[in-house]
Structure 1
Amino acid sequence: MHFKSLFYVLLFMSCTYSKSSKITFKTPQTMASKKYIRPAILQVGDTIAIVAPAGILKSRKKTIEAAQMLLKNWGLVPVLGPHLFSESYHFAGTDAQRLKDLQWALDKPDVKAIWCARGGYGSMRIMDELNFETFKKNPKWLVGYSDVTALHNQLQNLGYETLHAMMPINMEEDAKAITASITSLKAGLFGTLEKHSIEPNKSNRMGSAKGVLTGGNLTLLTAQLGSASQLDTRNKILFIEEIGEYKYHIDRMLQSLKRAGYFDHCNGVIVGDMMDIKANSPAWGTGIEELIMNILDPYDFPVAFGIPAGHKPENRALIFGRSIDLNITKSETIIRF
């Protein structure tokens, strides 16, 4: 091609791309204004599907029965995934069986919410095979935590709200210990969850922030870096929680998020349960709060510790994809939905 002609072609292409860049490339301001689709709040008589996309439910039929009874007491109709109690070594059935159950729940028109029975590991093995076309016509709540983080992030990237909350397996816990978990789960499903008021933590970085709530289990957030389910945290408030890891593992995962830009345009961080932390040998040298704050030191957004959400019995429901107000003062931390 003649150089002069090539120049005009390139000039035309440049102008064309610049005009379309507003659609192709989302700025932080664009992301902040994005409206996430909120599935319909539940009504008495609605159906909830219980499925197991991850770990095995060995000898836990009574646990599931207790979860079914809880839903029935709320006037809801529980239905079980056909392969809920299937076993395939570590998993609740083969990948194909777990995929089939989750797809069934996503597609079933009368199901208004999908309650994942437990975490463990396995959701990432099937998530890329899911088809959300029918779901998009009839959105429903996804409920769970831990390994379910992978599914939360996938649905949030598609533009839907989800509910980070207790799972049926938690019905094995002491009834008194899970009272707040049950209360907030019901409030989340029935649309009455307004706020959480939490006692202050000496490690908090005070301040106020507004943004869409996102996040989940730290291991799962890190595992999704570089994939289609990696989160965009610009103008968002990031929630993290973890269980059973060494401090150096937690540091490495947070450093990975930092290198991926998760904190660069983040509006705030909420730290949930950091429990059963394994002892480092040699010793790490700091507490978990100081470890986290050392990584977040370059940023000026508010940071809240001690939020009762994660793997402890008190696991208060959080609405991912919802724009929240975070207010951290000397006297309390308030998360308002």
Structure 2
Amino acid sequence: MIRYPILREGAVIGTTAPSSGVEESMHELIREASRRLESEGFKVVAGDTVWTQAKAKSAPAKVRAAELDRMLRDDTIDLIVPPWGGELLIEILEHLNFDQMPEKWILGYSDISLLLLAITLKTGLATAHGTNLVDLRGEYSDETTAMWRTVMSTETGDSVEQRSSALYQKEWQHDAPSPCVFHLTEPNVWQTVSGGKVSLKGRLLGGCIDVIRHVIGTKYGDVRSFQQERIGGEPILWYLENCEMNMADQRRSLVQMKLAGWFDHCSGLMFGRSPANRPVEGYTAEDMYRELEEELQVPVIYDIDCGHVPPQITLINGAYAEVQVENGQGRITQYFRP
């Protein structure tokens, strides 16, 4: 059974850094995001870890875990949105208290996706893969990113639909800030290995391959038990994205997932856009997607709005989803089924 938190108007957002904090030179980004969210009726409470960063982490693992746990169990905080991702979130997993975890949204991506996946697998609590705090600082958000509020306000038993964005951001232009934060300039096309229309259905799970692969074989990555005990054996629809791996490394990681049984009783794979998909001796991302479709005998779609190339659809780990891709356009309907 999946439990879904609910986002209410005037919610208090707790921001903590379970992975990387923010260097002093960039503290203004957090203040800007906080001001923007507060102008929209939220209240933002920042933990101490947000403001520190050294040796690839915001603070020692136990300190990060303790602050996150306090915010999770603080009844005055309604949802948690870390400032951004990072590198070493995996260090905190063994220090977290997963027992009786309160129904509270956590929203983020990149390294944060490891936390999201672990929580959903271990507790059955739905988690939200989408934007992070610093990317909410603009005067306005594009339609795709802005859907985080609508998605996370969906009641248990209801559904919410999102569509592929019209444009995506090819590269960051930090020297030319815009009111929208993102510079959306490139026509967006969702691709299918088959080249034709594809329809997928299943319970969503996923995240950044770079980090979620590291809990394979641990108690934080027990996909089989989750599937049998939490969702009654329903098929899993995976969404995955690549931050830094070349194609050989990504292929090794996906084969490991397959060998570990993560793709058993899987209904399909969805891959986000990635600037890191560097070919190795002519071996391309398209080659890998085609091989996966042949091996797993399930549809593969790619270049969806997910991951490190903005904007991002908000995907809920544990939700039942129906996905349709046709003529380069995508539609995802998520059903908040227990």
- Distance (whole Å) between structure 1 residues aligned to residue 329 and residue 194 of structure 2: 10
Amino acid at match of 2:88: G
Taking a change above 3 Å as real, the CA distance of residues 331 and 80 of structure 1, as seen in their structure-2 partners, is closer
Q: Secondary structure of 1:83's match?
A: helix
User: Take 2:194 and 2:34, find their aligned partners in 1: how far apart are those partners?
Assistant: 38
Q: Does 1:52 align with 2:17?
A: yes
The one-letter code sitting in structure 1 at the alignment partner of 2:96 is L
Distance in 1 (CA, whole Å) between partners of 2:299 and 2:39 is 39
Which secondary structure state, in structure 1, belongs to the residue aligned with residue 111 of structure 2?
helix
CA contact (8 A) 2:82 2:132 kept: yes
Quote the Cα distance in structure 2 between the aligned partners of 1:274 and 1:267: 22
Q: Secondary structure at the match of 2:316?
A: strand
Is the partner of 1:110 in helix, strand or coil? coil
Q: Structure 1 residue 271 and structure 2 residue 278: aligned?
A: no
Partner residue in 2 for 1:146: 110
Query: In the alignment, is residue 328 of structure 1 matched against residue 325 of structure 2?
Result: yes
Query: Aligned partners of 1:144, 1:63: CA distance in 2, in Å?
Result: 16
Identity fraction in percent:
22
The 2-side partners of 1:201 and 1:292 are apart by 10
Within-5 A mapping of 1:245-324: 245-278=245-278, 280=280, 283=281, 285-324=282-321
| Structure 2 runs not aligned, ≥5 long | 165-188, 228-234
2 CA distance for matches of 1:188 and 1:223? Answer: 29
Corresponding letter in the other structure for 2:70 = W
- Show the counterpart of 2:177: none
8 A contact 1:107–1:134 mirrored in 2: no
Distance apart, 1:171 and its partner CA: 4.7
Match of 1:212 in 2: 203
Comparing 266-275 with 179-188, greater Cα deviation is found at 179-188
1:232 correspondence with 2:232: no
1:251 positional shift: 0.9
* Alignment correspondent of 1:107: 73
Letter in 2 for 1:303: V
Residue 106 of structure 1, CA deviation: 0.9
1:167 is matched with which residue: 123, 132, 144? 132
Look up the match of 2:212: 221
Q: Which deviations, in whole Å up to 9, do the C-alpha atoms of 1:88-140 show, x marking residues without a partner?
A: 321112223212211111111121111011111121101121113453xx310
The answer on 1:185 being equivalent to 2:148 is yes
Could you tell me which residue of structure 2 aligns to residue 18 of structure 1? Answer: none
TM-score by length of 2: 0.80
Aligned partners of 2:85 and 2:79: how far apart in 1?
17
Shift of 1:186: 2.0
Residues 219-228 or 199-208, more deviating: 199-208
Q: Is the 8 A contact 2:210 2:245 kept in 1?
A: no
Q: Does 1:83 align with 2:46?
A: no
Q: TM-score, normalised by structure 1?
A: 0.80
* Mapped pair 1:118 → 2:84: yes
After superposition, the C-alpha distances for 1:73-99 in whole angstroms (9 at most, x for unaligned) are 321111011332123321112223212
Query: Which amino acid in structure 1 is aligned with residue 331 of structure 2?
Result: I
Letter in 1 for 2:326: T
Alpha-carbon distance in 1 for matches of 2:21, 2:237: 32
Q: Which of structures 1 and 2 has the larger relative contact order (alpha carbons within 8 angstroms, sep 6+)? A: 2
Matched with 1:14 is none
- Note closer, same or farther for the CA distance 1:182–1:332 as it changes in structure 2 (3 Å cut): closer
Q: 2:5 aligns with which of 36, 39, 45?
A: 39
Deviations 1:18-70 (A, max 9, x none): xxxxxxxxxxxxxxxxx310012x22222110011111311221111122123
User: Does the alignment pair 1:203 with 2:168?
Assistant: no
> 2:95 aligned with 1:129, yes or no?
yes
Counterparts of 2:243 and 2:53 in 1: how far apart (Å)?
24
Counterpart secondary structure, 2:220: coil
Matched AA of 2:107? V
Distance change in 2, residues 1:36/1:259 (3 Å): same
**What is the letter of the counterpart of residue 215 of structure 1?**
G
How many aligned residue pairs are there?
295
Q: Distance in 2 between matches of 1:90 and 1:153?
A: 21
The answer as to whether partners of 1:103 and 1:131 remain within 8 angstroms in 2 is: yes
CA RMSD of aligned residues (A): 2.3
Residues 327 and 333 of structure 1 are in contact (CA less than 8 Å); yes or no, is this contact kept in structure 2?
yes
Is this contact kept in 2: 1:243–1:273, CA < 8 A?
no
Stretches of structure 1 that go unaligned for 5 or more consecutive residues are 1-34
Deviation (angstroms), 1:202: 5.0
- 1:209: Cα distance to partner? 2.7
**Counterparts of 1:113 and 1:195 in 2: how far apart (Å)?**
22
Larger helix fraction of residues = 1
